[in-house]
Each structure stands twice: as structure tokens, then as C-alpha cells.
Structure 1
Amino acid sequence: MQFLLCDQRAIHYRAIGLDGARPVIVFINSLGTDFRIWNAVMDALGDGYAYVLHDKRGHGLSDTGNTPYSIDDHVDDLAALLDHLSVKQAIVWGLSVGGLIAQGLYARRPDLTRALILSNTAHKIGTAEMWSDRIGKIERDGIAPLVDGVMERWFTPAFRSLDNAAYLGARTMLARQDASGYAAACAAIRDADFTELARQIAVPTLCIAGDGDGSTPPELVGELAALIPDSRIAVIEDCGHIPCLEQPVAYAAAAEAFLKSLPEF
């Protein structure tokens, strides 16, 4: 296991193949998940890329620290990790809140960003009232009462089968999430609005949606794509909010078509 100390917090990360000879993909997780969600995508993409993964603060094996969080806090952690690893000009691939963090990283540290893949995300996700209500419920009752509703937004009905081990594993991953870290990340999403920033993105950008996404539906992802000059959009069929778990092969294929269009590394 690899850890980086950031302001007295341990950030759990994994770096694969950082030999300077391959393009680097930096994955940023969604709310309530850890970096294991990317395993099947990396398998599908293969060893032509190097990879950096991390558990954002309050998730997985990373410390929770002081709460609540802002997107800038998550950006600070990721920028410190990439500086530590001497990674520049990466392909930054963010899922859901990870997409907000990716947009924030581009705004603050364009030297770290060669291209963006903004997956199942938006320039602004949800309303302040919605997120504040969710935070209040978590503070009162914990995460367990929310799991079923979150699963309905994360996955299509076909995936949500008690005979599907991957679905059961995703339920367990969310249920075991640190409640204070989850609530703190909800506050970061609530307070983030990258509407104006999105118009200023000047690197190649792919926006990805799932056709059955109950959290950031294709229409919302399309609004983000419309804001970003010259961006592309791909919609994954039979897929909800977490395509790296539900449709990893199709998801990787959509991304790889974009990756192969980038200028030579």
C-alpha cells in the first residue's frame, strides 16, 4: 500500500507504470467509492498507459481529517500527489464528484492536465437544498438508510440483482463508507459551481454519460459538454452512474477512441 502525508492526513494511492514512456491516466473516484472501482477499466485499457489512483480524503483508506470539505481541498490533495510523483500533463479522468475535482484541478493547475475525461458529472450537480438534506440525514442516521436509494441512482435495474456479486460488492463498499467523510464530500459537491470555468476549458475533453444514470442523466452531461469548447460526448448504453462497474469494457472503449485521437505523447 502507498500513502502520502498531506497536511497531517494520509492519502492512500496507487501508482502503476510511471516510467516516463507512457501517457499517464489519473483516475478520480465518485462519491462513496474507493479506487478499486477502476480495476476492470485498467484491465481493458491495458499496459499502454501508466495510472495514478487515489482515495480522496474521507474515502477508502485515506484519512477523513477536518470536515466539511470543499472541491479545492480535494484539488489540493490531488495536486500534492501528482507533484510528489512528478506527474505532469496527465489525462485526468474524473467520475461524478471526481469530474468536479478534475475541473478544479484544470483551473488551478493546468500544467498537470493534458486532457480531460469528465464522466457522469456536470458543471453543477444537484441543488443546495438536496445536498443539505442528505447531509442532515447522514448526520442523524448514518449511511445505511440511504444505500437502497443510492443504488437505484447508481445502477440500472438489470444490474441491481441479488445474483450479481458485483452489485452486492458495490452495496457493501458504500455501506462501509465513513459517514463523516461522505457527508463532507456532499458539502463539497453542494458548494461547487464550475459553469463559468467550463467555458474556459481549452484542452481536449470527452464527456461521458450513462443512458440510465439516475444521478447525472445524459441531458445534464450534455449541458456540460455544450459549455466546453470543442468537447465530445459519448453515451454508454445499458448503464447507470458508475460505468466502471456496470459496463467497464464499453466504458474503456469509448474512452480509448478519444485517447487515440490525442496528439502523440
Structure 2
Amino acid sequence: MTLPVDPDLRPVSVATADGSGAHYWVWGDPAATTTVVAVHGFRGDHHGLLPIVVGLDDARVVTPDLPGFGVSAAFDSGPHDVDAYAAWLTTFCRQLHRTGDRLVVVGHSFGSVIGAAAVAGGLCPDALVLMNPIAAPALAGPRAVLSTIALGYYRAGARLPESLGNALLTNPVIVRALSEVMAHTADPALRSWIHDQHRRYFSSFADRRVVVEAFEASVSHDIGEYAARISVPTLLIAGDRDDIVPVAAVQRLAGELTDSRLLVLADVGHLIHYERAEPAAAAINEFLARRLGGSTSGRP
């Protein structure tokens, strides 16, 4: 997998929103008149969306680490829930958005819920892209048992003495097991790279309170809660083998949105950003060119 630059590059900027410093990186064409803000999923950081970023044409792409994850500080006060993250994203986008430019929000998995909640709450991007969208409540759907077991795991990590709790939540054997379950590719090289990405970045959270609160938020909310208040053009990109969100739920969500397009990619699960980055990026480019008109850079 080819990434745009050294993945350990230091952030180019730090933005302060809602009392927390959020580190972010800027890629692509700095003069482009379309700014894409890409929001990663639960337990990840900005590295996870770099395979998508490298395929976006003629855009200025901003990839933050969510507060409490990667190198971004946790919120100073209050829980790390959907409302807090949505408020943070709204402020972040308004700080980064340049007058006259077009704004696009891209969210993967938990990031899709955050993006949807922000738009429903008043953020007005020109387009919204939701990859592996959380289209159904995890604690009430066909994966409810697995979600409940995972919730018990995170709560156990919070209740144990600090050293034991941290050891449980960052246990490399458990991280590898989760990676094995989520990866569907049969390509040994790609599979090995995915496992390495999870090993490197899946445990980079500020503390166990953050990761437990964020997990509870991720399984307690879904995009359907916000669908009626989302009117911007929306692209949904789903995997036909997604073990977390069934395709049928995403299809229902597409019907609930005012202006949506659904793309279902074959032979991929919840890791579209790793396993189908090129077709996903191509779909985003095509969608933005059609819906925003012309090139995403604003040039003819």
C-alpha cells in the first residue's frame, strides 16, 4: 500500500476547538477550492484514511485525529460521546473552511455517525460521504450479541485497576484477533499490511476513559437517528461482506435520506478504506465532480 508521505510525519497544524487541541494534517493541493475533512473511525487515527486521501483529485484534504485518539488531546471535560464529537467537528470545519471554498465531510464507521450528527445539528457541507456507514443500532441488530460482548470487554477494561485495564484494552493478541475478524482480503501482503496498521495505531488513545466512552457512543447511535435532518448530497459506500452493518440496513438508510447515492463494493467488509481504497476514492471523485460541478479544484 502506497501512502502519500511518511506516515509518521508530524502534524502541520494544531487547531483548538471546544477546549481541546486537535492535531491535523493537510494533504493535496493547498490552492484547491474544495476542502475535504476526513474523519476516521473508532480506535483509529488519521493514518487509516490515508489510502483514501492519496486517491482524491484536486482537493485540499484535512485529516484530524479525533480528540482523545492518535496524538490529539482528550476533551477537557464531559464525555466523549456523539454530541461532543459532532460539536467538535462543526467547530473544526468552520475553523478550517476558507470563505468561498466548498466543504466536503468524509466519515468512516464511527466517523460516519459523527459526520451525520454534525450535519443534522447545523453543519452545512456541500456534500457528505459516509463509508461503512453505521446504518443500524449495533445493540439492537443482528450483531447485538457480539456488540454486547465487546461492550463488556471495554467496561471490564475501565473497571480493572489501571495497569490491568490498560493492558487488557491494548492487548496485542486481542488487537490481532479483531484485525483477523475484520479483514476479508485473501491477498496475504495486503492482509499483513492491515494487521500492521492495526498493531501500530489501534491502541493510540489518550486513556481508557476515552476509549470506553467512545465505544459506548459508537454502539448506541446510528445514522438513522439523523437522516431526516440531512439534506445535503450524500454518498454512501458500503461493503457487501460488512460484519458490523448489513447491506440491507444501508439500503434502508439510503431511502431515508433526501438526496443520496449508494455504492456497494463486492468482497469487502468493514475495512473499505484498506481493502478497496482505490475504487472508493474513485467513487468519491466522481460523486463530487457530478454533484459539485466540474473539477473538485474549482478549475475547468
Q: TM-score range by the shorter chain?
A: 0.7 to 0.9
1:93 to 1:195, Cα distance in 2 relative to 1, 3 A: same
Name the SS for the 2:226 alignment partner. Answer: helix
**Which one of 233, 243, 266 corresponds to residue 214 of structure 1?**
243
Residues 106 and 112 in structure 2, CA contact (< 8 A), matched pair in contact too: yes
Aligned residue in 2 for 1:115: 127
Give the Å deviation of 1:29: 0.3
Moved >4 Å (runs of 4+): 159-163
Structure number with larger C-alpha Rg = 2
Aligned residue in 2 for 1:137: 156
1:171 to 1:248, Cα distance in 2 relative to 1, 3 A: same
* Identity across matched positions, percent: 24
Give the Å deviation of 1:25: 1.3
Give the Å deviation of 1:176: 4.1
- 2:233 matched to 1:231? no
Q: Over aligned residues, Cα RMSD in angstroms?
A: 2.6
Name the SS for the 2:72 alignment partner. Answer: coil
Residues 211 and 236 in structure 1, CA contact (< 8 A), matched pair in contact too: yes
Give the Å deviation of 1:160: 6.8
* Count of residues in correspondence between the two structures: 262
Name the SS for the 1:234 alignment partner. Answer: strand
* Residue type at the aligned position of 1:27: A
Residues 123 and 198 in structure 1, CA contact (< 8 A), matched pair in contact too: no
Aligned residue in 2 for 1:38: 49
1:109-131 deviations in Å (ceiling 9; x for gaps):
233x1111111012444017726
Give the Å deviation of 1:9: 2.2
Aligned residue in 2 for 1:98: 111
Give the Å deviation of 1:237: 2.2
**Which one of 189, 203, 211 corresponds to residue 182 of structure 1?**
211
Give the Å deviation of 1:108: 1.7
- 2:227 matched to 1:198? yes
More deviation in 91-100 or 138-147? 138-147
1:8 to 1:52, Cα distance in 2 relative to 1, 3 A: same
Residues 40 and 244 in structure 1, CA contact (< 8 A), matched pair in contact too: yes
1:209-236 deviations in Å (ceiling 9; x for gaps):
1122222232232232122134111112
* Residue type at the aligned position of 1:104: A
TM-score normalised by structure 1 residue count: 0.86
More deviation in 225-234 or 191-200? 191-200
Residues 94 and 101 in structure 1, CA contact (< 8 A), matched pair in contact too: yes
TM-score normalised by structure 2 residue count: 0.77
CA distance in 1, matches of 2:188, 2:109: 20
- 2:90 matched to 1:71? no
CA distance in 2, matches of 1:256, 1:209: 16
**Which one of 62, 72, 87 corresponds to residue 72 of structure 2?**
62
Give the Å deviation of 1:205: 1.0
More deviation in 237-246 or 79-88? 79-88
Unpaired runs of at least 5, structure 1 = none
CA distance in 2, matches of 1:255, 1:53: 16
Unpaired runs of at least 5, structure 2 = 1-10, 141-146, 161-167
1:86-135 deviations in Å (ceiling 9; x for gaps):
34641111100110011111112233x11111110124440177264243
Give the Å deviation of 1:159: 5.2
1:35 to 1:240, Cα distance in 2 relative to 1, 3 A: same
CA distance in 2, matches of 1:34, 1:256: 23
